[in-house]
Amino acid sequence: MGSCCHSSPVVACNVSGSASGNERKRQRWCHVPLGQAQTTKIACKERLNNFVIRRKENMREINKRGLLIVIVSLCITFPLLGGGKQEKEAEPRKIEIWHTYSDAEVKVFDEETIPAFEAAHPGIKVVSTKMPYDGLKQQVIAGVAGDAVPDLMRMDIIWVPEFAKQGALTAVSDKNEFGAIQANLLPGPMRTNYYNGKYYGLPLNTNTKVAIYNRSALTSLGAQPPKTFEELVALAERFKGPEKWGLGVGGTSTWGQLPWFWSLGGRLTDDNYTRALGYLDSSGSIEALQTMVDLNRKGLIGPSLLGAEPNTWAGIQEGNYLMIDDGPWFYSILGQEAYEKTVWEQFPKGKGGSVSVVGGENLVIFKGARHPEEAWTLMQYLLTDEPQLRMARTGLIPTTKSAGGNPELEDNELVQIYVKQLQTARPRTPHPNWEKISEAVGLAFESAYREKGTAERLLRETAQEIDGYLKD
């Protein structure tokens, strides 16, 4: 026999008090002297109960500690898992817009328009990037090929059909909100976004050309700005003299010629831009071009027509020309002097009406946009009155009917004359091959003025050429 804590031999007892040499696991629970085996049944049972109670208490403590460890672990690891995702989602999504705004326009766009949008849409951050116009088209082409385009762009209106054909632009006419937006936009600028049955952009700002008269010349003639083409020609004949011409026409290009050609009854294509034969060479078109050729023969059109001096701006300011046609930038660039020396009016009505040409820029969303829905949100915002009116203060003409009729602009006679002219202005043929079409038409016009062929022959041959471009 040996001893450990006691001087007497011990015996192990089970819960009933009987000796059990086989239950060695319990021996450490209720060791008693061997001689007291018969009297330790109750004591052994009590010790066993006490052990069970302590065991349960220890387990509860362990469970509490384990639960605490689990909670602390979750608090540490959750931000790394779920929390990080929440923070990422909370960060504003950045969208980039390319534009060619002037310095004055950039100041308003970056410091007023964008902050107002971001305040209304805190989940979106706008990156405004001013691009140089020279070489911009090639840069866009390269960006489309290399998937390096911005989310949206303020694009020259004549580029939209070309990039739409390439599959680079999103068809905004597929958007649910498109119908309501379109209803509030001027029809001429809106049409510049059309290609193959859909619209691939929205007109952001627009421009056109109106008739601009030399104020002192009208005063000397005792006349008001003429309302019809016949009245204009009559005044031009009275004004004609040494170094004086009634009309200062800005070249033979389509931009320079179309207001005259269209107002006199000429056409380029059908309304769907699918055919030139029967339209460009129609009797109305031939008569319109021949009328201008005859006016030039009579010396009523100044040398600016064929690129000689004085140019239109210098000629109207110095009194060489009775009338020119130009856009609102004529006044924003020349300033107060232009206001003092000139009078503005809608283009004189001819057989085709008072029709000018649409210019401006459209908003487009690239198919490669990182955040197309956020880009669409910005596009919709920029077509509301507040940003339209804000940018109008820089001299840009709004494209929305509601902004054009806003009291803030109603008192601005200059803006109103351009807005009125835009009601009947037409877009240059919205087609991917417009530049080729424009070059062909311009060459026909120049050849007619230089009398290298009859108006009828030149327009017929050009119509045949253009039909090939329209089918491409």
Residue 156: CB atoms within 10 A of its CB come to 17
pLDDT for res 408: 87
Question: Is domain 210-357+431-471 classified as CATH 3.40.50.920?
Answer: no
Q: What sign does the dihedral 278-284-289-293 (CA atoms) show?
A: positive
Q: Which residues contact 377 (CB under 8 A, 6 or more apart)?
A: 121, 124
Distances in whole angstroms, Cα of residue 75 to Cα of each of 71, 90, 128, 399: 6, 20, 40, 54
Strand 321-326 to strand 245-248: parallel, antiparallel, or no bridges (unpaired)? Answer: parallel
52 pLDDT tier (thresholds 50, 70, 90)? very low
Q: Which tokens go with 124?
A: 């979106």
Mean pLDDT of 50-69: 54
Share of residues in the chain with pLDDT > 70 (%):
81
Q: Residue 197: how many CB atoms within 10 A of its CB?
A: 8
CA 149 to CA 140: how far, in whole Å? 7
Which stretch of DSSP H or E encloses residue 312?
helix 312-318
422-437 pLDDT tens trace: 999 999 999 999 999 9
Q: Given this model, what pLDDT does residue 307 score?
A: 97
Q: Residue 88 is which amino acid?
A: K
Mean pLDDT of 289-313: 98
Q: What percent of the chain has pLDDT over 90?
A: 76
41 has pLDDT over 60: no
Reduce the DSSP state of residue 302 to 3 states and report it. Answer: coil
Residue type, 253: S
Mean pLDDT of the region 439-455: 98
Residues 6+ apart with CB under 8 A from 464: 276, 277
Q: Phi-psi region for residue 299, left (φ > 0), alpha (ψ -120 to 50) or beta?
A: left
Do 93-200+363-395 and 210-357+431-471 have matching folds?
yes
**Phi-psi region at 273: left, alpha or beta (left = phi > 0; alpha = psi -120 to 50):** left
Cis preceding-peptide flag for 310 (omega within 30 of 0): yes
pLDDT digits (tens, 9 = 90+) for 220-262: 999 999 999 999 999 999 999 999 999 999 999 999 999 999 9
Check whether the bond before 427 is cis (ω within 30° of 0): no
Higher pLDDT, 71 or 98: 98
On whether the 93-200+363-395 domain is CATH 1.10.10.10, my answer is no
Domain boundaries, the chain: 1-91, 93-200+363-395, 210-357+431-471
pLDDT per residue as tens digits for the range 369-383: 999 999 999 999 999
Identify the band that residue 472 occupies on the pLDDT scale cut at 50, 70 and 90.
Answer: confident
pLDDT of 330 > 60? The answer is yes
Instruction: Please state the pTM of the whole predicted model.
Output: 0.77
